Amino acid sequence: MVSEVSDLSAIEALLKPLVESVEQKGAGKARFIFFRHGKRSAEASLDEDGGIWVEYWECEPELLEPPVWEGTFYSIETAREAILSWLLSGNLGPICGL
């Protein structure tokens, strides 16, 4: 089972030095971390089963465009790799089955 405090904070700490912008948004169960690098962005939050739910955008999510891809990871490392790969290269690759 994933712990909200430690796992979202761990992903934030791992990615913060590597991408342009990292922000915590929301509160309580609606808390998520928003990552931005160039024209790509991603959000990470916890789902009800304890996984890390991630959504990816090619543009600003505030423009109300649907995410390019979304899915759940059950490993901090796998979620971190997928987010970083998307933000830096636009490639979701084998981690997301694309």
pTM exceeds 0.85: no
- Which two structure tokens, joined as six digits, stand for 12? 């934030």
Gap between the Cα atoms of 48 and 19, Å rounded: 27
| Overall domain count for the chain | 1
The pLDDT value recorded for residue 17 is 94
């990871």: which residue's tokens? 73
Per-residue pLDDT of the chain (98 residues; tens, 9 = 90+): 454 445 688 899 999 999 999 999 988 888 899 999 988 899 999 988 889 999 998 876 667 778 888 999 999 899 999 999 999 887 665 454 44
Segments forming the whole domain that contains residue 40: 4-96
Question: How many Cβ atoms from other residues are within 10 Å of residue 46's Cβ?
Answer: 19
